[in-house]
């Protein structure tokens, strides 16, 4: 698959290869479904599995503001609810560069503390970070001393 904007990434290797730019485009498309009548800040996310499945999400606000949900967690919860627990990357798109909030970083770290996070750079080109760059010390299942068998 060709990289949008000419930017390649590890997601282009192997089965289910998806270029960073293409994953970011999926996030941008998902943002069009955002329900954001209060903030008007429309965000989309696209979460890629190793098999090439892409789960998208958008932010969903509520008149009771605190109930609003981020695009990243919508995508993550959709994926997990459909049986996916391993992820290769997440792309997030908003009106401008839109890094995941702390809550979403923690939620994603549960599944991969080093997950690549694809954002739109200042020039619109995909900019790839890793979750452990964005969240230095996540609280992980190991901190609970829980067995791993439930997680995979």
- Which of these is catalytic: 28, 51, 72, 148? 72
Size of the site for Zn ion (CB under 5 A): 3
Q: Which two tokens stand for residue 17?
A: 């290869």
Stretch that binds Zn ion, among 5-13, 51-59, 93-101, 135-143 (CB under 5 A): 93-101
Nearest to 55 by CA among 33, 32, 38, 72: 72
Which 57-76 positions form the footprint of Zn ion (CB under 5 A)? 70
Q: Are 58 and 37 in contact (CB under 8 A)?
A: no
Query: 19 or 47: whose CB is closer to Zn ion?
Result: 47
Among residues 19, 27, 89, 104, the one that binds Zn ion under rule CB under 5 A? 104
Give CA–CA dist 80/75, Å, rounded: 9
Give CA–CA dist 135/101, Å, rounded: 10
Closest CB 16 distance from Zn ion, rounded Å: 25
Binding site for Zn ion (CB under 5 A): 70, 101, 104
């Amino acid at each position: 698959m060709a990289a949008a904007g000419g930017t390649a990434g590890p997601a282009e290797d192997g089965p289910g290869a998806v270029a960073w730019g293409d994953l970011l485009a999926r996030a941008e498309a998902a943002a069009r479904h955002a329900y954001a009548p209060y903030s008007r800040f429309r965000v989309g996310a696209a979460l890629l599995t190793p098999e090439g499945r892409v789960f998208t999400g958008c932010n969903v606000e509520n008149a009771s503001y605190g109930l609003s949900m981020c695009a990243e967690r919508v995508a993550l919860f959709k994926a997990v609810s459909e049986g996916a627990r391993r992820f290769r990357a997440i792309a997030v798109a908003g009106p401008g560069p839109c890094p995941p909030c702390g809550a979403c970083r923690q939620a994603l770290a549960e599944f991969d503390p080093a997950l690549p996070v694809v954002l739109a750079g200042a020039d619109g080109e995909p900019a790839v970070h890793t979750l452990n760059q964005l969240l230095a010390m996540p609280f992980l299942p190991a901190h609970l001393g829980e067995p791993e068998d439930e997680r995979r």
